[in-house]
Structure 1
Amino acid sequence: MVFKHQIIATLILFISVFQIACTEEPVEDTQAIPPVADLAEVPYRKLSEYHFFKGEISDLQAQEGVLPYDLNTPLFSDYAHKARFIYLPEGKQINYTALESLDFPVGTVLIKNFFYHNDERDPSKGKRIIETRLLIHQEDGWNAYPYLWNDGQTDADYWVGGFQTEVSWVDQNGEEQVINYQMPNKNDCKGCHVIDNILHPIGPKARNLNGNYPYADGSQNQLLKLKEMGWLNGMPALSEVDKAAKWDDTSELLEDRARAYLDVNCGHCHRPNAPANNSGLFLYHQETDDNNLGLCKVPVAAGSGSGGLKFDIVPGEPENSILPYRMNSTNIEVMMPELGRTVVHKEGVELIENWIRNMENRGCNAQ
């Protein structure tokens, strides 16, 4: 009899739970939640709390109010792919600037996701997202907030202390690659993003955005897209906007490709009023003086970083030039850039070596 009562009680409980489940309010559709970055509340603990992406967060599908973008020539980061997005608060506009990063209004969030395809030959085999870096323009200026993705790829946590993890993938040649990926800590961001002791974005300059992007509604020039959306103010005719070369597009001039590569990978530090300004080696886009660009220039500081070589660049002789020597090293006392990579970008080194090799040999030792 007791057993019979237990069965009846269990059935009643099951029916009650079922009825409650059927009458509960439906779960809120996260795709209907607009993106948010309350400047008084950021950084949020979880990346998902910003609602930048709809559906499965790891699909990185932008919500309305979040726009994907890319760079003609990006910064090298240990062969990681990057999915970039801009969140612009409703009613705000970006002001056009010709040389430096676009003038983004307070409230803007620049979103950069670092990931690796499991197989470069077939992206449909999935990817692993390692980290997401947010640059948020707050009332006191730009601030960097890094997020580390969990193993299940369901979310990312605000993570200030840096992180190391082994990453493997199959490259375009079918060979397995393995690296020890290093996520920088929050303070490392200041090592690259600072000009005049103020944090700035590096990549989204007009010249590096002056190219097409495959938007969901069709391919279009990114600057024209921003203008069409009412997001970009003060842009001149597109024909008047400089265009950075694609570093790996061999149909473009070698000089333009090399300068674009050096600008985005080195020029944010090697320029006046930036961390490497005391070197006298200026590799940013605006530099036109051959000596400042390193041609027949004796480095300010010698030592192991020079490899026993005398000049930053010896025209016609990459094997005798300090610049490619340092790019081709992973020794912490030698390598350049100092942050953001743990392996050599072989294709980037080859580009700079070819650039130097094709310069007219002017005999630096005779000067």
Structure 2
Amino acid sequence: MKKCFNWYSIFLLYGVFAACSSDPKKESPGEAEITYENWEAPEVELSTLDFDQMPFKNLSDYGFFKGKIREMKAADGVMIYEPASSLFTDYAHKSRYIWMPDGQHAAINDDMEGTMAFPDRTVLIKNFYYPADFNKPEENIRMIETRLMIRRNGIWEAYPYVWNNEQTDASYKVVGAEIPVKWKDEKGESQIINYIVPNKNQCKSCHNVNEEMAPIGVKAKHLNHPFAYSSGNQNQLVKWEEVGYLKEMGSIENLPSVVNYTDQSQGLNLRAMAYLDINCAHCHRAEGPASTSGLFLNYEERDHMKLGVFKTPVAAGFGAGSFKFAIYPGKADESILTFRMGTNQVGAAMPEIGRVSVHEEGLQLIKDWINEMDEKTLKNQKAQLK
């Protein structure tokens, strides 16, 4: 009797284990079942967001985008924007959005750049992605990261989110990430890099004004140009005022603006200055972390010495290569500026973070600008920027 009981007990236990191990996906759907086709973001009421609990674990927890969030269908009140010129990040494509609580608005400061004062609980959203084929930019998109900047208690904070392989959501990653990315460029050539998502602390390396974190692209000078909204082309600052995100803006003709450095109908000098402003001036300015270099590359700079013309480096070390001047007029290949833009060597490459590849088109633009410099053009450039 005892022997039969033991065999019977074993038989019962086997049945329990078999039941537990038989196709658990059918009993309780888990993360392994989630795919891009069958998952949509939960609906979130933006007005109820608890800013004291941020950062949230997942991008979908904020409710900024509806449905399949990779498709970037913005929720009510989430507005797309685009600066005139874009920071180079290893050829990544980008989309940018802003959200403010109901009844809140920004104000344009009375300065050369048209910097903006934003209310608490403003959120800036920046997505980085790659189309599989750059000649088909809307197809086969792979999201890589989303960076949030959130204003709380009078200060900005940055939070990096890394997208999962299923492309359903992105998760908060304090330490950043390194992600292999491949694509086919406009020439049909295959490209592959190890894309670097910066960690949380590195964000302040660029977003730094007088040692406080600050946005880069949301200034009047970057937004004072038309954007193709679904309702038609409209100046972005006018649109912001229309929806209540700006108040008492005044005339846009009296506000600063920057050209698009890819627009070849613009003058070479303006294009070069626009490129240096968006890619370099967040550090190389009087209020930036590279202020001690004495090299100021913001769009409004007028002093050729501060722009680097015949300027010897304060302390560049091997980062200067074998060259003497930041900009040697007429000799781009003997200028420190283009040397540092054109190398990936750690300690010499500029910018120091944010890229692992050389922006060939941007480098060529700055080379053309330097090579056309002589005494006459320097005078003309100074007059043009007045």
- Same-fold call, TM cutoff 0.5: yes
Residue correspondence of structure 1 range 214-293 to structure 2 within 5 A: 214-293=228-307
- Range 72-81 or range 271-280, more displaced: 271-280
1:286 deviates by: 2.8
SS at structure 2 position matched to 1:131 = strand
* Alpha-carbon shift at residue 32 of structure 1 (Å): 7.3
> 1:65 matched to which residue of 2?
77
For the pair 1:43 / 2:78, whether they are aligned, the reply is no
CA distance in 1, matches of 2:63, 2:186: 34
Report the secondary structure of 1:137's partner residue: strand
Q: How does 1:25-40 map to 2 (within 5 A)?
A: 30=42, 33-34=45-46, 37-40=49-52
The equivalent position to 2:108 in structure 1, one of 88, 91, 96, is: 96
For 2:198, the equivalent position in structure 1 comes to 184
Helix, strand or coil: the match of 1:292? Answer: helix
Contact 2:120–2:154, Cα closer than 8 Å, also in 1: no
Distance 1:40 1:300, change over 3 A: same
Deviation at residue 309 of structure 1 after TM alignment: 0.4
Aligned partners of 2:255 and 2:229: how far apart in 1? 21
Residues 57 and 155 in structure 1, CA contact (< 8 A), matched pair in contact too: yes
Gap change, CA 1:124 and 1:283, over 3 Å in 2: closer
Q: Which moved more, 1:184-193 or 1:90-99?
A: 90-99
Counterpart position of 1:87: 99
Deviation (angstroms), 1:285: 2.4
Question: Structure 2: 5+ residue runs without aligned partners?
Answer: 1-39, 377-386
Secondary structure at 1:336 match in 2 = coil
CA distance in 1 between counterparts of 2:327 and 2:300 reads 18
> Structure 1 residues 35, 71: closer, same or farther in 2, change over 3 A?
farther
8 Å CA contact retained: 2:325, 2:335:
yes
Secondary structure of the structure 1 residue equivalent to 2:300: coil
Q: Which residue of 2 aligns with 1:312?
A: 326
Matching residue within 74, 86, 90 for 1:78: 90
**Unaligned residue ranges in structure 1 (runs of 5+):** 1-27, 363-367
Aligned mate of 1:213, from 216, 222, 227: 227
Q: 1:100 to 1:239 in 2, by over 3 A?
A: closer
| Correspondence list, 1:195-210, <5 A | 195-210=209-224
Matches within 5 A, 1:106-145: 106-145=120-159
Q: Which whole-Å CA distance do the structure 2 matches of 1:179 and 1:129 have between them? A: 15
Shift of 1:123: 2.9
Q: What is the deviation of 1:30? A: 4.7
Instruction: Name the SS for the 2:299 alignment partner.
Output: coil
CA–CA distance in 2 between the matches of 1:226 and 1:303? 46
Query: Which residue of structure 1 lines up, in the alignment, with residue 19 of structure 2?
Result: none
Distance 1:172 1:231 in 2: 37
Counterparts of 1:290 and 1:300, CA distance in 2 = 16
Residue 73 of structure 2 corresponds to residue 55 of structure 1: no
Secondary structure of the residue aligned to 1:40 is: helix
Distance 1:172 1:67 in 2: 29
Deviations 1:141-162 (A, max 9, x none): 0000111110001111111101
- Asked whether 1:155 is paired with 2:169, we answer yes
Partners of 2:53 and 2:84 lie apart in 1 by: 34
Q: 2:364 aligns with which of 350, 353, 365?
A: 350
**Alpha carbons of structure 1 residues 245 and 133: separation in structure 2 relative to 1, 3 Å:** same
Rounded to whole Å, the distance in 1 between the matches of 2:268 and 2:352 is 25
TM-score normalized by the length of structure 2 = 0.84
Secondary structure at the aligned position of 1:115 is classed as: strand
1:113 partner SS:
strand
What does residue 3 of structure 1 align with? none
Q: Which runs of 4+ in 1 moved over 4 A?
A: 28-32
State the Cα distance separating 1:248 from its structure 2 match: 0.8
Q: Cα distance 1:221–1:36, how it changes in 2: closer, same or farther (>3 A)?
A: farther
* Matched-pair identity in %: 45
Q: Aligned equivalents of 2:61 and 2:259: distance in 1?
A: 37
Code of the residue aligned with 2:59 in structure 1: it is L
Residues 253-275 of structure 1: per-residue CA shift (max 9 Å, x gap): 11111111101111010111321
Structure 2 CA distance for aligned equivalents of residues 36 and 255 of structure 1:
48
Give me the whole-angstrom Cα distance separating, in 2, the residues matched to 1:302 and 1:172.
35
In structure 1, the residue matched to 2:14 is none
**Contact between 2:327 and 2:337, CA under 8 Å: does it hold in 1?**
yes
CA contact (8 A) 2:114 2:219 kept: yes
Q: CA RMSD in A?
A: 1.6
Relative to structure 1, the CA distance from residue 274 to residue 123 in structure 2 (aligned partners, 3 Å threshold; closer, same or farther) is closer
